[in-house]
Structure 1
């Protein structure tokens, strides 16, 4: 009987050891699954972060490309600005020369030549998108006109109406190169 008890006890011990071993294996596998799950979540979060960074970088590249394109367009649009500003005093001098009264035929032909030069310059300006700012008879606009004097309103004039242009103003497309110097009725 002792042998039988020993055998039973031994069988029970083996069975208990086997169950413990299986439980340990299951616990070990569960830990591995948990660790793998945590690792998977970490990798998923890292992937999401990298995808976000990638999308942000792509958007930044598109924005830079658009910004550079706009800068190039602006450079092309306003390329003649500096030259025009340099030519405006010469054009003013031509206008002053044309305001001089002439009495002889020689003076008339000289004046005609000055008019031709002035017309050539104005045509070149027009080709480049440079135009004279309308002033006389217009309502004063401080963004494109510079009031240097005011005069009392006379009959037939409106308040803030430009009654005299002292110096023409010019604009290049939508940019003011020089405001018109004017006298305003008030």
Structure 2
């Protein structure tokens, strides 16, 4: 073999090797691209999953915040419920004391003092949202009134009307502290 032929053969062999290397390189590039594509898809799924978790957590935080705010508002609105219930008996006693007739100056001064205490209690109740439940002459409402006695209905007192209030009822905003004890026509 001549030197020219050797060189030609070597060149051909190098060309084949370069082509094989290029083919292998192309195959490797495709594999790398597929791996990268697969990794991107996995990361995209994880991102979507994390976004979903984030949105759910944000919604839960908003719900807890709203629930806490509502509970605080309810506690504030009805904070005087227990004290109001306990003071109703004292209010009743002061009202009964005001009905008593007095004949001397000392009794009149005592009655005036009781009247002042009664008015200050009524004012404090009003400021806290505690109000008397209307009863006499209105239609009986079992959510506001407690019937302790009934009388037959007539022209003066139609059926389900309240004839007499035996004990006043009170409510705090929309909650009944104590129902009115009443006599109802039936």
Shorter-chain TM range is 0.7 to 0.9
**2:168 is equivalent to residue 182 of structure 1:** no
Aligned to 1:72: 72
Aligned to 1:97: 97
Structure 1, unmatched stretches of 5+, are none
- What is the CA–CA distance in structure 2 between the aligned matches of 1:97 and 1:152, rounded to whole Å? 32
Aligned to 1:146: 146
Report the secondary structure of 1:183's partner residue. strand
Structure 2, unmatched stretches of 5+, are none
Please, what TM-score do these two structures have when normalized by structure 2?
Answer: 0.83
Aligned to 2:166: 166
Aligned to 1:116: 116
Deviations 1:34-91 (A, max 9, x none): 1111111111111122222222222222222222222222222112111111101111
Deviation, structure 1 residue 11: 5.6
Aligned to 1:85: 85
Deviations 1:11-54 (A, max 9, x none): 65544443333222111111111111111111111112222222
Q: How many residues align?
A: 185
- What is the CA–CA distance in structure 1 between the aligned matches of 2:34 and 2:27, rounded to whole Å? 10
Aligned to 2:131: 131
Report the secondary structure of 1:176's partner residue. strand
